[in-house]
Amino acid sequence: MRTPTTIKPLPDAVAGLVRDGDAVALEGFTHLIPFAAGHEVIRQGRRDLELIRMTPDLLYDQMIGMGCARKLVFSYGGNPGVGSLHRFRDAVEHGWPRPLELEEHSHAGMANRYAAGASDLPFAVMRGYAGTDLESRTTVRPITCPFTGERLTAVPALRPDVAIIHAQEADRRGNVQLWGIPGVQKEAVLAARRSLVTVERIVDELEPRPGGVVIPGWVVDAVAEAPGGAHPSYAHGITDRDNDAYREWDRISRDRDTFLAWMREHVLDTAGAAA
């Protein structure tokens, strides 16, 4: 049984839900990436996390570079449209600041793994991986369709300890609505044992939006208000993607000391949710 959703300050919500060694999924496919929550995890000094995310993006580059992660489960580790994620590469290529175990999939595989987790099924069935070197390097198995005999691929369900997402709005009972590119956030929340949603704003009543995805409050453990909490990603209709920040990250993240200085100034020395 889940306890009723509570709306609380971001530091309290993160402290209550994220523990050392957890498998944590912070989702948001280019859009609605929960940066504020991820930064709070860094500030609280969480360690040995298994970080799960289709597209690690700048946020996991930062968490990996700050030494939060033991393992990364992912499908595309690049800075979209810009190039490499340098902290991710440094961890994989040189073990800095610590070695990073990898479990990598394709996007289709990750999406289906979340869907299986949300369905409380042990695995999902799909066409994919066949003929690639990924097949022997990751957690997939061939499976034969019991009806047609077709050879398909089974991917294991993802069941994160915690899912963290960002959305535009929640009401006072913790019902959440997001719109624009929906990514895989609903699946991540439903697949996880615990969940936290940060929102741009708390409203009295959710107003239905075209393409809006509503996640009922009773499947969410905590909601925290974090205006601008997706920056430099964005919240459709409220903020814009800060493409310059994504370009600038390439320079900041190339060098370990420049990276650490940036993190100190922009993440560690800030006051949390209000920052």
Which positions lie near other proteins, rule CB under 8 A? 29-31, 54-55, 74-78, 80-82, 84-85, 88-89, 92-93, 104-108, 111-112, 114-115, 126-134, 137, 150-151, 180-184, 186-187, 211, 213, 234, 236, 240-241, 243, 246-247
In the complex, least distance from residue 274 CB atom to other proteins, rounded to whole angstroms: 26
In the complex, least distance from residue 108 CB atom to other proteins, rounded to whole angstroms: 4
In the complex, least distance from residue 206 CB atom to other proteins, rounded to whole angstroms: 19
In the complex, least distance from residue 99 CB atom to other proteins, rounded to whole angstroms: 11
Minimum CB distance to other proteins smaller for 17 or for 88: 88
Minimum CB distance to other proteins smaller for 149 or for 257: 149
Minimum CB distance to other proteins smaller for 19 or for 71: 71
Are the beta carbons of 209 and 179 closer than 8 angstroms? yes
Minimum CB distance to other proteins smaller for 88 or for 262: 88
- Phi, psi for 246 (deg, rounded to 5): -65, -40
**Number of residues that make up the chain:** 275
Minimum CB distance to other proteins smaller for 82 or for 219: 82
In the complex, least distance from residue 230 CB atom to other proteins, rounded to whole angstroms: 11
